[in-house]
Amino acid sequence: MLNSTIVEHSHTEDTEIQQIVTTTRPRIPFNAAAGALSIAIDSVIEEECERLPIIPTLPDYDFTIQVRGDSMMPNFHSGDEVACRFINEASFIQWGLPHVLDTAQGVVLKSIYQDEDNIICKSFNSRYPDFSIPKDEILHMAIVVGFVRQS
Protein backbone atom coordinates (compact mmCIF):
# COMPACT_ATOMS: atom_id res chain seq x y z
CA MET A 1 0.00 0.00 0.00
CA LEU A 2 1.40 3.39 -0.94
CA ASN A 3 1.66 6.04 1.73
CA SER A 4 -0.96 8.67 1.23
CA THR A 5 -0.96 12.30 2.11
CA ILE A 6 -3.90 13.57 4.11
CA VAL A 7 -3.79 17.27 4.79
CA GLU A 8 -6.25 18.64 7.31
CA HIS A 9 -7.26 22.24 6.75
CA SER A 10 -6.77 23.03 10.44
CA HIS A 11 -2.98 22.65 10.11
CA THR A 12 -0.64 25.49 9.33
CA GLU A 13 0.99 25.74 5.92
CA ASP A 14 4.32 24.50 7.38
CA THR A 15 2.64 21.38 8.76
CA GLU A 16 0.98 20.69 5.41
CA ILE A 17 4.30 21.01 3.60
CA GLN A 18 5.99 18.66 6.11
CA GLN A 19 3.26 16.04 5.57
CA ILE A 20 3.79 16.18 1.80
CA VAL A 21 7.58 15.93 2.13
CA THR A 22 7.44 12.89 4.47
CA THR A 23 5.02 10.85 2.31
CA THR A 24 6.49 11.66 -1.08
CA ARG A 25 9.89 11.89 -2.68
CA PRO A 26 11.04 14.25 -5.41
CA ARG A 27 11.48 13.08 -8.99
CA ILE A 28 14.45 14.98 -10.36
CA PRO A 29 14.23 15.94 -14.05
CA PHE A 30 17.10 14.04 -15.74
CA ASN A 31 17.81 16.88 -18.14
CA ALA A 32 18.03 19.32 -15.24
CA ALA A 33 20.85 21.79 -15.07
CA ALA A 34 23.73 21.35 -12.65
CA GLY A 35 22.68 21.63 -9.04
CA ALA A 36 19.41 19.76 -9.65
CA LEU A 37 19.96 17.35 -6.77
CA SER A 38 19.93 20.33 -4.43
CA ILE A 39 16.17 20.27 -4.89
CA ALA A 40 16.02 16.94 -3.08
CA ILE A 41 18.69 17.80 -0.52
CA ASP A 42 16.87 20.91 0.59
CA SER A 43 13.49 19.10 0.64
CA VAL A 44 12.02 22.07 -1.15
CA ILE A 45 9.01 21.67 -3.39
CA GLU A 46 10.16 23.16 -6.67
CA GLU A 47 7.97 23.82 -9.69
CA GLU A 48 10.36 21.83 -11.87
CA CYS A 49 10.39 18.82 -9.55
CA GLU A 50 7.44 16.43 -9.26
CA ARG A 51 6.63 14.82 -5.92
CA LEU A 52 5.74 11.12 -6.15
CA PRO A 53 4.34 8.83 -3.44
CA ILE A 54 6.98 6.71 -1.71
CA ILE A 55 7.40 3.30 -3.35
CA PRO A 56 7.25 1.00 -0.30
CA THR A 57 8.79 -2.03 -2.03
CA LEU A 58 12.08 -0.17 -2.56
CA PRO A 59 14.80 0.35 0.05
CA ASP A 60 14.88 3.76 1.76
CA TYR A 61 15.65 6.45 -0.83
CA ASP A 62 15.86 10.24 -1.12
CA PHE A 63 14.64 10.83 -4.69
CA THR A 64 13.90 9.18 -8.02
CA ILE A 65 15.01 10.03 -11.52
CA GLN A 66 13.92 8.59 -14.85
CA VAL A 67 16.57 7.00 -17.06
CA ARG A 68 16.99 8.53 -20.50
CA GLY A 69 18.78 6.87 -23.40
CA ASP A 70 20.40 3.46 -23.80
CA SER A 71 23.88 3.94 -22.32
CA MET A 72 23.01 1.87 -19.24
CA MET A 73 21.33 -0.99 -21.15
CA PRO A 74 20.76 -3.83 -20.48
CA ASN A 75 20.56 -3.11 -16.74
CA PHE A 76 18.52 0.10 -17.02
CA HIS A 77 16.13 0.93 -19.86
CA SER A 78 15.04 4.37 -20.99
CA GLY A 79 11.97 5.21 -18.89
CA ASP A 80 13.01 3.19 -15.82
CA GLU A 81 12.51 5.08 -12.56
CA VAL A 82 15.64 4.68 -10.40
CA ALA A 83 15.50 5.32 -6.67
CA CYS A 84 18.61 6.93 -5.17
CA ARG A 85 20.02 7.61 -1.72
CA PHE A 86 22.47 10.45 -1.15
CA ILE A 87 26.07 9.74 -0.20
CA ASN A 88 27.38 12.27 2.26
CA GLU A 89 30.76 10.71 3.01
CA ALA A 90 33.32 9.36 0.55
CA SER A 91 33.72 6.22 2.67
CA PHE A 92 30.17 5.20 1.73
CA ILE A 93 30.79 5.24 -2.03
CA GLN A 94 30.34 1.75 -3.46
CA TRP A 95 32.81 1.71 -6.34
CA GLY A 96 31.67 -0.24 -9.39
CA LEU A 97 27.96 0.26 -8.70
CA PRO A 98 25.58 2.68 -10.46
CA HIS A 99 25.42 6.18 -9.02
CA VAL A 100 23.76 9.42 -10.03
CA LEU A 101 26.22 12.29 -10.13
CA ASP A 102 25.20 15.93 -10.14
CA THR A 103 28.11 17.56 -11.96
CA ALA A 104 29.05 20.98 -13.20
CA GLN A 105 27.82 19.79 -16.63
CA GLY A 106 24.51 18.23 -15.47
CA VAL A 107 23.20 14.93 -14.10
CA VAL A 108 24.64 11.53 -15.15
CA LEU A 109 23.82 7.92 -14.26
CA LYS A 110 26.91 5.68 -14.51
CA SER A 111 28.85 2.98 -12.73
CA ILE A 112 31.71 4.78 -11.05
CA TYR A 113 35.34 3.96 -10.28
CA GLN A 114 38.01 5.89 -8.40
CA ASP A 115 41.05 7.32 -10.18
CA GLU A 116 43.08 9.72 -8.02
CA ASP A 117 41.45 13.16 -8.48
CA ASN A 118 38.82 11.90 -10.93
CA ILE A 119 35.89 9.55 -11.03
CA ILE A 120 35.73 7.24 -14.03
CA CYS A 121 32.20 6.85 -15.36
CA LYS A 122 31.32 3.66 -17.20
CA SER A 123 28.20 2.73 -19.14
CA PHE A 124 26.82 -0.80 -19.15
CA ASN A 125 26.32 -0.48 -22.91
CA SER A 126 29.74 -1.12 -24.50
CA ARG A 127 28.97 1.28 -27.38
CA TYR A 128 29.60 4.17 -25.00
CA PRO A 129 33.18 5.04 -24.01
CA ASP A 130 34.28 5.62 -20.43
CA PHE A 131 34.92 9.19 -19.34
CA SER A 132 36.35 10.94 -16.28
CA ILE A 133 34.92 13.70 -14.14
CA PRO A 134 37.18 15.66 -11.78
CA LYS A 135 36.05 15.07 -8.20
CA ASP A 136 35.86 18.80 -7.56
CA GLU A 137 33.21 19.13 -10.32
CA ILE A 138 30.81 16.77 -8.55
CA LEU A 139 28.22 18.74 -6.63
CA HIS A 140 26.27 15.78 -5.19
CA MET A 141 26.38 12.00 -5.41
CA ALA A 142 23.74 9.33 -4.83
CA ILE A 143 23.77 5.55 -5.13
CA VAL A 144 21.03 3.73 -7.02
CA VAL A 145 19.22 1.51 -4.48
CA GLY A 146 16.44 0.18 -6.73
CA PHE A 147 14.32 0.82 -9.78
CA VAL A 148 10.87 0.38 -11.25
CA ARG A 149 10.39 -0.58 -14.88
CA GLN A 150 7.30 0.38 -16.82
CA SER A 151 5.97 -2.54 -18.84
The CATH number for 72's domain is 2.10.109.10
Q: 141 has which bridge partners?
A: 101
Per-residue model confidence (pLDDT) at position 77 = 93
| Domain presence at residue 83 | yes
Strands 50-53 and 24-28: antiparallel
Strands 81-86 and 98-103: unpaired
Which range has the worst mean pLDDT, 18-22, 40-44, 74-78, 117-121?
40-44
Q: Compare 58 and 22 and report the one with higher pLDDT.
A: 58
Q: Does 9 have pLDDT greater than 50?
A: no
Count of the separate structural domains present in the chain: 1
Q: Does 14 have pLDDT greater than 80?
A: no
| Domain presence at residue 5 | no
Per-residue model confidence (pLDDT) at position 37 = 63
Q: 51 has which bridge partners?
A: 26
**Domain limits at 93?**
13-148
| Domain presence at residue 86 | yes
Per-residue model confidence (pLDDT) at position 42 = 54
Average pLDDT over residues 100-120: 91
**In this structure, are residues 140 and 110 in contact, taking their beta carbons and an 8 Å threshold?**
no
Average pLDDT over residues 98-115: 91
Mean residue pLDDT of the chain comes to 80
| 18 — pLDDT class (breaks 50, 70, 90) | low
Which range has the worst mean pLDDT, 43-47, 106-110, 138-142?
43-47
pTM here is: 0.78
Show the CA angle centred on residue 15, arms to residues 66 and 55, nearest 5°.
30
| Domain presence at residue 6 | no
> Any idea what DSSP says for residue 24?
E
Amino acid letter for position 102: D
Q: 98 has which bridge partners?
A: 111
| Domain presence at residue 135 | yes
